[in-house]
Chains A and B, each alone.
Chain A
Amino acid sequence: MGRIIVRLDRVMADRKIGLNELSEQVGIANVNLSKLKNGHVSAIRFSTLIAICEALRCQPGDLLEYAADET
């Protein structure tokens, strides 16, 4: 089975925005955002995705990427 890679770090770097600032704008705890950035979560709520897309002015596709299984 393939997997979903979160590209939040790349979009944040493009927008030159830090984790703390994004955390304040989105209204999500710094720890949870860090988990999301490092791919340590198994699911994301639509409400979270909407808030991040609004803060970073991007599309969900910019944040998420599908990687097919190599085997």
Chain B
Amino acid sequence: METSIKRKINIFGKVGKIITTVLIVLLLVAEGFLLTGGVIVALVPKEAVTADVTGTADVRVDANVLGIDENNQLAVKAGGSKIVLGDLGEKAKADIDVKDGVVQVQLGVKNMHFNLWDALKLIIFSMFSLAAVIVALYFFKALMKEFSLCDTPFSDGVIRKMRNFAIALIPTMLLSSLFKSVAGGMLADRFTFDFDLLPVAFVVVVFVLTAIFRYGAQLQREHDDTV
């Protein structure tokens, strides 16, 4: 391989290694803060700090567009024709008031009560998510170190470390989705699994790159065995 290209790859590896090391140190510090915070929160009585969220939303819609027809059905006017959306329940009818050509709906937001155990749950999930990111970064750092020392990027060492990094990304991806689901579930008062496709795509790209590098290594071996 040309010396200048090899030098560029080595420099790329060295810079990547330094940046990753800094990131790992910062994340370890954050993990330490979370651990300390978690211990403090766990030791304090759970109702020592509470938060109650209540609220209402007033929705106003032009009665010429959306309203209740003569058969007590919710209907919308579009393009001169009426589209019936469906029958309203008795409870919904009580919340709806038509006045001066405006449909007024009062939506009550369910009262939510948070205490320190909820905060502790979030801290624990954050710690696990952060730990998974640190592990993934550790494997990324090993990959960067391999790049900083290698004669060619298409070597068995680079492939092994790239595959390890791709595998380490899987728990990171799952934990980040789970963390978002738990946090979102606490706010919405119901659990729904929120799965991000972007991290999945990233993991797939890394696996595809590993396969490409494996093929590159095979070509490199053939090239090296040719005189």
Contact = CB atoms under 8 A, between A and B. Distances in A.
Interface of A: 28, 32-33, 35-36, 41-45, 48
B226 interface: yes
B21 to A, nearest CB: 38
Contacts of B226: 41-45
Contacts of A44: 226-227
A25 to B, nearest CB: 15
Contacts of A43: 222, 225-227
* Residue among B222, B226, B227 with max Cβ neighbours from chain A (10 Å): B227
B171 to A, nearest CB: 40
Interface in B48-68: none
Contacts, number: 20
**SS class, residues of chain A in contact with chain B:** mixed
Interface in B207-226: 222, 225-226
Contacts of A45: 226-227
Contact of A48 (B222, B225, B227): B227
A43 B225 CA distance: 6
Nearest to A49: B227
Contacts of A28: 227
20 contacts: A28-B227, A32-B227, A33-B227, A35-B227, A36-B227, A41-B225, A41-B226, A41-B227, A42-B222, A42-B225, A42-B226, A43-B222, A43-B225, A43-B226, A43-B227, A44-B226, A44-B227, A45-B226, A45-B227, A48-B227
A33 B227 CA distance: 8
What 10 A-B pairs come out closest when comparing CB atoms?
A43-B226, A42-B225, A32-B227, A36-B227, A41-B227, A41-B225, A48-B227, A44-B227, A45-B226, A43-B225
Interface string B183-227: 000000000000000000000000000000000000000100111
Contacts of A33: 227
Contacts of B225: 41-43
A62 to B, nearest CB: 17
A44 B227 CA distance: 5
Interface in B161-198: none
